[in-house]
């Protein structure tokens, strides 16, 4: 058996999230269906770097799977894409050592969150960026708040109360906000993220940008270890798993 590492992009709009659920359209179900077909009905399962929620997109999700086949590495791209629905595309594939694990070997992840400033929301962006309506957030204030989030913290206040993991200390290495045309784009990079953590941070930064909170509130909210303090989770459809890094 040889281990394949594949990079996968998907439009999360029409999926009930990444993870397999019986009888429901998920990204993993579609990928595993394609793997089973390529392997002539042998059960081959993929392992991803982590799940994404319903509506969340990916530019560079990473998976691995083990195969008895010996296709040239880049042939895996086409072999899987002909079997996958068009809202999932394998964009890269390579053979890796069997010590590689899409989830456990990951040393960092980058997520992107997109808001749209346009007067009227473009019908072409309705599933791909969160429309700000009449809000015009102060990006400088959002950047000041972001500075408070960067670093190693207990992120209990910034993840779903349903988070199962007991250790909620994570390190955010980079957190930037940039205007690109009519879009406001948050990019966040860290060693790992708790359930709903990126969307909670996005919601919190927006709350600062529109004056519901101040940048100084961030430290207090972090210290409180109380999810209720951090306010609204931003909608799923603005979020993209952009890339996963491995050493």
Binding site for a second copy (CB under 8 A): 9-11, 57, 77, 81, 86-91, 119-124, 126, 128
195 is in an annotated binding site: no
- Closer residue to a second copy (CB): 11 or 189: 11
CB of 194 to a second copy, least distance (A): 26
- Closer residue to a second copy (CB): 126 or 173: 126
- Closer residue to a second copy (CB): 81 or 171: 81
Local structure of 75: helix, strand or coil: helix
82, 47 contact by CB (below 8 A): no
Distance between start and end Cα atoms, the chain: 23
Burial of 172 (0-12, 13-18, 19+ CB in 10 A): buried
Task: Tell which residue, 200, 211, 158, 2, has the closest CA to residue 94.
Answer: 2
Q: Which helix (H) or strand (E) holds 68?
A: none
- Closer residue to a second copy (CB): 87 or 191: 87
CB of 100 to a second copy, least distance (A): 22
CB of 85 to a second copy, least distance (A): 9
Local structure of 97: helix, strand or coil: coil
Please name every residue paired with 112 in a beta bridge, in sequence order, or none if there are none. Answer: 187, 240
157, 204 contact by CB (below 8 A): no
From 11, 32, 41, 53, the catalytic residue: 53
Residue 53 is a catalytic residue:
yes
Task: Tell which residue, 82, 79, 78, 44, has the closest CA to residue 63.
Answer: 44
Per the annotation, where are the binding residues for substrate?
Answer: 111
* Binding-site annotation: residue ranges: 111
Catalytic residues: 53
């Amino acid at each position: 058996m040889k281990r394949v590492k594949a990079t996968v992009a998907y439009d999360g709009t029409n999926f009930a999230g990444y993870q397999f659920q019986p009888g429901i359209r998920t990204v993993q179900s579609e990928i595993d269906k394609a793997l089973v077909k390529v392997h002539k009905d042998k059960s081959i399962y993929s392992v991803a770097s982590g799940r994404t929620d319903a509506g969340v997109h990916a530019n560079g999700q990473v998976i691995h799977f083990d195969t008895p086949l010996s296709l040239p590495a880049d042939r895996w791209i086409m072999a899987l894409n002909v079997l996958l629905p068009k809202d999932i595309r394998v964009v890269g594939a390579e053979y890796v050592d069997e010590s590689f694990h899409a989830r456990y070997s990951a040393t960092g992840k980058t997520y992107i969150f997109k808001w749209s400033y346009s007067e009227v929301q473009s019908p072409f962006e309705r599933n791909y960026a969160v429309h700000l309506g009449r809000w015009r957030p102060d990006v400088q204030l959002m950047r000041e708040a972001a500075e408070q989030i960067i670093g190693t913290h207990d992120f209990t206040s910034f993840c779903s109360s349903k988070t199962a993991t007991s250790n909620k200390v994570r390190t955010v290495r980079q957190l930037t906000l940039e205007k690109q045309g009519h879009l406001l784009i948050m990019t966040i990079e860290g060693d790992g993220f708790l359930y709903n953590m990126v969307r909670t941070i996005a919601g919190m930064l927006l709350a600062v940008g529109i004056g519901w909170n101040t940048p100084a509130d961030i430290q207090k909210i972090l210290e409180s270890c109380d999810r209720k303090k951090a306010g609204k989770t931003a909608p799923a459809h603005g979020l993209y798993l952009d890339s996963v890094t491995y050493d």
